[in-house]
Amino acid sequence: MQQQAQIGLSTRHIAISGVLAAIAIFLGLTRLVFIPNPFTGVNATVGHIPPIIGGILEGPIVGAIIGTIFGLSSYFYATIPVFKDPLVAIVPRIFIGVFSAWTYMAFRKAGEWWAIALAAVIGTATNTVLVVGLAVVRGFWTKRVGLGIAITHGIPEMIAAVIICLAVLLSWKRVQTGRARARV
């Protein structure tokens, strides 16, 4: 119990981490996390969304935990060599929720909607830039291929993240503050 308080994980943090981890694992196991792109041969993903939500809801530690689970899922279920490299598949994903949390905290005063949307964009960009960047540095892709993948995957993934994060988190926050009305 003492150690739990030192690293800043409350029962709520653990519960939300568990729920989002279960979602990330389910998406990975069922392959629903990966959206095939027939033009590039590399799957687009929605796996970055649970770490973004975790980071926004509970902060950078929870975001990092969920991001790690997404990275492990990407690594264990890899179908192409680039994602069989743990430096490409796992390490970048740890930072998705961390950067999302920091962005949300920095812009929360500008308004909930803007803070969530910007955190979703930054979380997605973190995933795209770090994964593609490491794939290029590690020699899996050329710069040109990496740029093409970043554009064809990063932009649609950003749009999906903003829409899903806004829908989920604004609803969650309405319920949390008691502003949600029951419909009969």
Residue listed under structure tokens 């492990």: 72
Quote the pLDDT of residue 30. 76
pLDDT of residue 5: 42
pTM for the model: 0.84
The verdict on residue 167 lying in a domain is yes
Q: Greatest CA separation found in the chain?
A: 58
Is 166 inside a domain boundary? yes
CATH number, domain containing residue 47: 1.10.1760.20
Contacts (Cβ under 8 Å, ≥6 apart) of 27: 33, 46, 47, 50, 73
Q: Considering the domain boundaries, does residue 182 fall inside one?
A: no
Stretches in the chain below the pLDDT threshold 70: 1-8, 37, 39-43, 179-184
- Residue 183 included in any domain: no
Please give the residue range of the domain that contains residue 13.
Answer: 2-174
Determine, yes or no, domain membership for 102.
yes
Query: Does 85 fall in a domain?
Result: yes
Residue 181 belongs to some domain of the structure: no
Q: How many domains does the chain have?
A: 1
> Residues of 123-139 as b/e, b for ≥16 C-beta within 10 angstroms?
bbbbbbebbbbbbbeee
